[in-house]
Chain A
């Protein structure tokens, strides 16, 4: 059974940094692209970032480009999201999601970790 467990969320002031982690189990981790998707309170889903299985290809939403960095350690079955220069509008639940083999849909989702940016 595939399991994704996010951690690292919390309260941070505007301009601060935070690193999220997503530990995966039940899969050959390096074979799959991974993504971060966020959801602001009471709002819809917003895709944040994508990283390929080997880590060589990354994509970012325009709203986070230049501030967030996605990475992965396949030896630890973990994907990270380094978030810098945080803004109030980054406040959201951040979900880790596994992409299917064909890279056509989000097959599994973690339970999410809450990031609150406020002074």
Chain B
């Protein structure tokens, strides 16, 4: 059971928009920055969003992040088949003294 809760899967058609939620608590998301990672099949995870809302160089602005209270959200607009991947949220948990991840969300572009 992951400390951060994500939906197991989301899907949408090409060109559409999708959001992926990440729910935590007062000891993790509530007081720390959230980051998001994309993992394409058979590859290592890659940083996609950091500090709740920022995109690393090279990540298109179709990807966005937000945070409110103890929850965070990854948004993807203009969906492309190449966006099909697993997406994970992560942050530090002060009570556990541990990095924690969500269980991951599989994005399917229909």
Q: Chain A: residues with CB nearer than 8 A to chain B?
A: 35, 37, 44-47, 50, 59, 61-62, 95, 100, 102-112
Contact = CB atoms under 8 A, between A and B. Distances in A.
Contact of A104 (B35, B39, B100, B103): B35
B47 A44 contact: no
Contacts of A61: 98
Interface residues of B, number: 26
A95 B90 contact: no
Nearest to A97: B45
A106 B98 contact: no
Contacts of A102: 51
Nearest to B49: A105
A47 B3 CA distance: 11
Contact of B45 (A59, A100, A109): A109
B24 interface: no
B98 A45 contact: no
A44 to B, nearest CB: 4
Contact of A106 (B35, B97, B100, B103): B35
Contacts of A111: 43-44
Contacts of A108: 47
B32 interface: yes
B103 to A, nearest CB: 5
